[in-house]
Chains A and B, each alone.
Chain A
Amino acid sequence: MHDTSSKTIVLSGSHNKFGEQVLKRAGTNFNRCLHCQSCASGCPFTGAMDYLPNRIIRLVQFGQIQPALESATIWACVACNTCSIQCPMAIDIPGVMDALRQMAIENGHQIAEPDVLNFHREVLNTIERYGRTHKLEIMLRYKIKKRDWFTDLNVGLKMLAKRKLDLTPSRVSDIGRIRQLFKKSSKDA
Chain B
Amino acid sequence: MTDPAIHKYSYFPGCSLATTAKENNASMVAFCRKIGVELVELEDWNCCGSSSAHSIDSELAAALPARNLSLAPEGRPLLVACPSCLLRLRQAQLHLLQNKDQQQWYQGTFDRPVDTQLEILHFFELLERLDISDVMPDAFERLKGLRFAPYYGCMLARPPELRHEKNYYGLMEKVLTSLGASPVHWRFASRCCGTFLSVVRPDVVTPMVNSIVDGARQAGAECVITACAMCHLNLEVRCRLPDSVPILHFSEALSLALGTAESDGWFSRHLVDPRPMLEQRGLLHSNG
Contacts and interface: CB of A to CB of B under 8 A. Distances in A.
B192 A80 contact: yes
Given A123-B52, A170-B19, A181 B204 contact: no
17 contacts: A44-B194, A45-B192, A78-B192, A81-B154, A82-B154, A84-B158, A98-B55, A98-B58, A116-B201, A119-B52, A123-B51, A132-B15, A139-B199, A152-B202, A158-B237, A162-B270, A189-B57
A102 B56 contact: yes
Given A133-B47, A178-B67, 11 more contacts: A78-B192, A80-B153, A94-B159, A101-B55, A119-B52, A119-B196, A120-B52, A121-B56, A142-B199, A158-B271, A181-B67
Given A90-B163, A98-B58, A170-B18, A177 B67 contact: yes
Contacts of B19: 133-135, 164-166, 170
Contacts of B192: 44-45, 78, 80, 82
A44 B195 contact: no
Contacts of B233: 164
Interface in A78-124: 78-82, 84-85, 87, 90-92, 94-95, 98, 101-102, 105, 113, 115-117, 119-121, 123-124
A47 to B, nearest CB: 6
Contacts of B201: 48, 76, 115-116
Contacts of A181: 60, 63-64, 67, 109
Nearest to B20: A164
B99 to A, nearest CB: 11
Contact of B59 (A45, A142, A163, A189): A189
Interface of A: 25, 28, 44-45, 47-48, 76, 78-82, 84-85, 87, 90-92, 94-95, 98, 101-102, 105, 113, 115-117, 119-121, 123-124, 127, 131-135, 139, 142, 151-152, 155, 158-159, 162-166, 170, 172-174, 177-178, 180-182, 184-185, 188-189
Interface size class of B (residues with CB under 8 A): 35 or more
B54 A98 contact: yes
Given A116-B200, A181-B64, A124 B158 contact: no
A116 B57 CA distance: 14
B46 interface: yes
B158 A81 contact: yes
Nearest to B61: A98
Q: Is the interface of A mostly helix, strand, loop or mixed?
A: helix
Interface string B41-52: 000111101111
Given A80-B154, A80-B195, A132-B47, A184 B59 contact: yes
Contacts of A173: 44
B143 interface: no
B67 A113 contact: no
A133 B15 contact: yes
Q: Which of B22, B47, B208 has the most CB of A within 10 A?
A: B47
B127 interface: no
B135 interface: no
B18 A132 contact: yes
A158 B244 CA distance: 16
Interface string B191-233: 1101111011110100010000000000000000000000001
Contacts of A82: 154, 157, 190, 192
Contact of A102 (B46, B57, B64): B57
Nearest to A97: B55
Interface string B95-110: 0000000000000010
